[in-house]
Amino acid sequence: MKKEIDNKLNLKNIKPTAMRQLVLQVLTEQKTAISLPELEQKFEKADKATLYRTLKTFQEHQLIHSIEDGSGSLRYALCEDFCTCEPEHLHVHFLCNKCGKTYCMKDLPVPQPDLPNGFEFSSANFVVKGICSNCKK
């Protein structure tokens, strides 16, 4: 739905260019987080740098969040509407060792461990690895 795409962009104060609409379209279609190289392949002919900067813009405006899953490339996924990317909204991610897909476990908040004296929590990246339900059966 074209209208919804533009709506989302407007809500996050991102000027809805053609490129950005296309990228957001792709992002919305994903059930798992996507990397820049993967995103690149979704287009017949698209420039890496432009996609890179598009993702960067999206992230700066908290439309998407990035996940360091250790797979060699950063992965990106849509934030939930109410998300402000603050520590209390962080969730666990799951990387499947078999299919390589990275899932947002939106229902699993990242626990905030008791750090030693003097250490200050500001953010966290919690990636669980294993076999996903799809690869399991």
Partner DNA sequence: ATAGTTCGTGCAACCGAGTTGCAAACTTAC
Partner DNA sequence: GTAAGTTTGCAACTCGGTTGCACGAACTAT
Restricted to residues 6-35, the positions that interact with DNA (CB under 7 A) are 15, 17-20, 35
What is the rounded CA–CA span in Å between residue 123 and residue 121?
6
36 binds DNA (CB under 7 A): yes
- Taking the least distance from each CB to DNA, the nearer of 17 and 112 is 17
- Taking the least distance from each CB to Zn ion, the nearer of 24 and 132 is 132
43 binds a copy of itself (CB under 8 A): no
Restricted to residues 38-97, the positions that interact with DNA (CB under 7 A) are 45-50, 52-54, 56, 72-74
121 binds DNA (CB under 7 A): no
98 binds Zn ion (CB under 5 A): yes
Q: Indicate the residue type of 46.
A: A
Q: Is the alpha carbon torsion for 82, 85, 90, 91 positive or negative?
A: positive
User: Among residues 24, 55, 104, 132, which is the contact residue for Mn ion, using CB under 5 A?
Assistant: 104
CB-based burial label for 77 (10 Å; 0-12, 13-18, 19+): buried
DSSP class of residue 73 equals: S
CB-based burial label for 72 (10 Å; 0-12, 13-18, 19+): exposed
- List the structure tokens of 9: 């962009």
Helix (H, G, I), strand (E, B) or coil at 110: coil
Restricted to residues 114-133, the positions that interact with a copy of itself (CB under 8 A) are 114-133
What is the rounded CA–CA span in Å between residue 73 and residue 4?
29
What x-and-dash track marks residues 42-81 binding Zn ion by CB under 5 A? ----------------------------------------
The site for DNA (CB under 7 A) is made up of: 15, 17-20, 35-37, 45-50, 52-54, 56, 72-74
